[in-house]
Structure 1
Amino acid sequence: MFQYRVYEGQLPKTIAEQIRYLYETIFQTSAERMMEKMNKVESLLVLAAFKQEKVIGFKIGYESNSEEFYSWIGGVNPAYRKKGIGSTLMNMQHEWLKKRGYKIVTTQTKNKWRAMLILNLRYGFDIIGTYTDEKGEPKIILQKQL
């Protein structure tokens, strides 16, 4: 029903544009900063879920150091939620990381993104801290031993 692909390094332009559009749809904000960061990160990993060549979900991260990976951002098109896409993308990411020798995966989320927080906890992440971001919103730091 769904196809999944792994991209290492810079994305094909058509895929990057679909992710930009999906990000803006999910988060209701401009994807400009995300796109700029994606172009700067050297060890970018993007996992994408497709339905008939259309990106319906993504998970993006990059290397923090040789043993730690930062799972940066992800989302699933609201029309395709509750179908296991987020879980599949997370499992794929963690398997990819293990095969490459990473020991730890770290991520952050906000309390308002409860589905993401619950997914992370369900998949073995521990809350290791919190902080308040530049917009005054609390952020939750999570980490998982691979």
Structure 2
Amino acid sequence: MAGDPRQRLSGWRVGDVMSSPIRACAADMPLADAAELMAAERIHCLAVVAHTPDDDEPRFVGVLSDLDLIAALDGPGAGGTVAEHASAPLESVAADAPLGTAVHQMREARTQHLVVVAEGSGRPVGVLSTLDVAQALAGAAGARPGD
């Protein structure tokens, strides 16, 4: 694969490559139940939602990734709730942001997932993962000679 990957992705927006819809779970969900949900749905992360009596709507507070599950299993608190093991604060990016901006944000935050939000409302509309970026990069490489 020749060429600069940044150039191949230059015209892409986050919304072009994100996974949607977003899958969420309650912050107080037992970690084992979250692992079961992720396995059953074959997903790599869950957006974590908290709801307090003062909130009109639940608010997204973090992300539980498959790597967070692995860390929990290898650490002292293998049980507990999603909130105890989720990555926080929540890292998010606008759906209309350039993909390069999101890639930079992922690298700086050392995360593999960003919650994608709609501009204006800030409402979560999807998730951008490193796998989504890799698939976009592979697709942007173009057709092989002779195809």
TM-score of the pair, normalised by structure 1:
0.26
Which structure has greater strand proportion?
A: 1
Instruction: Say which structure, 1 or 2, has more relative contact order (CA 8 Å, 6+ apart).
Output: 2
